[in-house]
Structure 1
């Protein structure tokens, strides 16, 4: 009597195939992520428009070693300065730093641009987060400032510099900039554009149209003919570095102030507005320092005494 035994499965070539037994273990459940404001960084808006912080892969915070980077940057700058002193044809001759007007004009420009760059960024964010404007309305809200800058710099600043001198025009522009920042330093959380923002926009337009051409003229006038290209490059570098410094410092200051007030129980909008007011007050301080530097260090232009031909002839005779 034949008995049918169970056959082992095989593939097409006749090789036996092992059967896989099903895994009867329970799958591990991942812990559910909490949703809503309880998560870190949710439910809180920073004055600089960012989130809770920069995180790397898998949510780990990146440690970039800021102190180490600053040390390396200082070392590179020191090595560059030493090389320029010993080079036959240096890229940055040390004699440039011995020109008082050139150094003073770049110092004034550094402080002024630092404040102006912070104004452009922080006010744009405040108009959206505090006053409730959308992106398009915020762009239109900034339109008066560049229009007034263009009209002032192209039509008025040149004639004023020719008549009163670049130093006087620069001082007037810096004084107006201080007034503009003080106007923004009192901007309330329930402020209105026409009464609380537009006056400062117009003041900044006139201040920028007077300040930027005047300080550029002073920076270029302080250099000789052989250093004209170097003076122009130094002025552009000062603008870039000053803008980056001002934006980082003022945004960090506004964020820290708003976070501290929120921790004390302030309403979010009120805390944001207070953070911006603090940043604009500090920007006013930066421009005030620039104004003092200009008053103390920039030399007054020599007065040109015009003598009539009759007086000159009389003195000679």
Structure 2
């Protein structure tokens, strides 16, 4: 049982995770109101949401390493400060440029806070049942934030206006930052004389940001457009340069030896894959409820509430399941459940209902989400030393973020292509509900296929023995630790 101070610290970090995930969803609901009130074009409006994803994804890895260098609590508080200031700018914005700038700045603050929050959690809880339990709570709050963003976005926009979605962040960020110095460990600032790798920082940040831009643009305009191909090619060149720089740097941002660790490497791939499969489901199910079944936006968001509650319940037992059955077994079971749930969800009907078509598979997916989330986070941080937890958290957060962006671009593209092949768009932009439903079903089947591949890869996961783990004593208990009381 964690001490009261650590429980309070965990609550603070979990609430931060809730807010950061919520922020990725809430703007999607509020964006149409922004466009109407400020006269923003659809192309500009899409980047009100996407600017956050680009800066968030581009800076996660750098933020994780900086947290190791300058102190995790310091970067956590600074990230919340940037988030609050950017949110205030968004609340006061009266044109597209200021809104997009505010969203990009929010992504910067979110990257700093997210990488630091996970690193602080790993510092507070040693590897084993306590860490598994803490990661379960973390996963539960992330799942709840994804669904709550859809509901809260509709409520705030309808009652208080779209500005309230930004103003809320100002209040919440300050409320989270104030107790941080008292609840979180100060950490240590590394002073080993090795310096910092500015070229590596610039190349990896530029590469990841360009890659995020290309992936987001692919979801908007298609994979063969110049706006996708050119930044995608530039991203590959920047990331290749980063690899070459790191091999020669005296103080590499990411030591090349890190990628030679098979457990860490495979765990990051699997983290990205579960996001590829599951993240688009929130978006597509909400669209089905609204565009096909005719739900209002708020009710469409509430349709995901049972899933979120299931995430919270199952996440509280994740540590016991890992202790009893082992990390690899729970991970494989989670991915199999994702595959079954997504395949089940693909059987949507244009004449269906929430109770028969959405609720049963969403409950199964809600049970699967914390299993794959907790186990991939545990595996991604097993083979690291205490001095590398910031780097490890930056890596896994980057994998998760890019998994969600890739998944949304690919599955949305599959749904759109299938819909267009089944039914023409009407003169007023109306689409046949049957064609829409077929598109959603095809996307869910692709998600199921990704989960099947991930389940097979998870069978290859090798959990280090206690003597091999760089994280110190006790880390090797992840494969089969005693069940928590």
The interval holding the TM-score normalised by the smaller chain is: 0.7 to 0.9
Q: Which residue of 2 aligns with 1:109?
A: 271
1:165·1:301 contact (CA, 8 Å) conserved in 2? Answer: no
User: Structure 1 unaligned runs (5+)?
Assistant: 1-48, 305-317
Structure exhibiting the larger radius of gyration computed from Cα positions: 1
1:185·1:276 contact (CA, 8 Å) conserved in 2? Answer: yes
2:383·2:464 contact (CA, 8 Å) conserved in 1? Answer: no
- Is it true that 1:235 corresponds to 2:235 in the alignment? no
Q: Which has the higher contact order (CA 8 A, sep 6+)?
A: 1
Q: Which residue of 1 aligns with 2:240?
A: 78
1:181·1:283 contact (CA, 8 Å) conserved in 2? Answer: yes
Q: Which residue of 1 aligns with 2:406?
A: 245
**1:198 Cα offset (Å):** 0.6
**1:117 Cα offset (Å):** 1.1
**1:223 Cα offset (Å):** 2.4
Question: Counterpart of 2:309 in 1: which secondary structure?
Answer: helix
Per-residue CA shift, 1:145-165, capped at 9, x if unaligned? 1111111112x1111112222
The structure 2 residue matched to 1:298, chosen from 461, 472, 475, is 461
- Is it true that 1:219 corresponds to 2:383 in the alignment? no
- Is it true that 1:149 corresponds to 2:311 in the alignment? yes
- Please tell me the root mean square deviation across aligned C-alpha atoms, in Å: 2.6
2:417·2:439 contact (CA, 8 Å) conserved in 1? Answer: yes
Moved segments of 4+, more than 6 Å: 301-304
Q: Aligned residue pairs: how many?
A: 247
Q: TM-score under structure 1 normalisation?
A: 0.72
Partner Cα separation in structure 1 for residue 424 and residue 300 of structure 2: 29
1:173·1:210 contact (CA, 8 Å) conserved in 2? Answer: yes
**1:94 Cα offset (Å):** 0.7
1:114·1:243 contact (CA, 8 Å) conserved in 2? Answer: yes
Partner Cα separation in structure 1 for residue 333 and residue 396 of structure 2: 21
Q: Which residue of 2 aligns with 1:89?
A: 251
**1:68 Cα offset (Å):** 1.9
Per-residue CA shift, 1:198-232, capped at 9, x if unaligned? 10111011101211111111111132334222111
Q: Which residue of 1 aligns with 2:160?
A: none
As a proportion of its length, which structure holds more helix? 2
Partner Cα separation in structure 2 for residue 105 and residue 176 of structure 1: 18
Q: Which residue of 2 aligns with 1:308?
A: none
Partner Cα separation in structure 2 for residue 146 and residue 92 of structure 1: 35
Q: Which residue of 2 aligns with 1:270?
A: 434
**1:301 Cα offset (Å):** 6.8
Q: 1:179-198 residue pairs with structure 2 within 5 A?
A: 179-198=340-359
CA distance 1:71–1:224, change in 2 (3 Å) = same
**1:167 Cα offset (Å):** 1.1
**1:263 Cα offset (Å):** 3.8
Q: TM-score under structure 2 normalisation?
A: 0.48
2:310·2:366 contact (CA, 8 Å) conserved in 1? Answer: yes
Partner Cα separation in structure 2 for residue 182 and residue 65 of structure 1: 33
Partner Cα separation in structure 1 for residue 331 and residue 241 of structure 2: 35
**1:171 Cα offset (Å):** 1.0
User: Structure 2 unaligned runs (5+)?
Assistant: 1-31, 33-41, 46-220, 466-478, 481-485
- Is it true that 1:174 corresponds to 2:338 in the alignment? no
CA distance 1:211–1:66, change in 2 (3 Å) = closer
The structure 2 residue matched to 1:209, chosen from 349, 367, 370, is 370
Per-residue CA shift, 1:156-215, capped at 9, x if unaligned? 111111222211111111111111101111111111111221101110111012111111
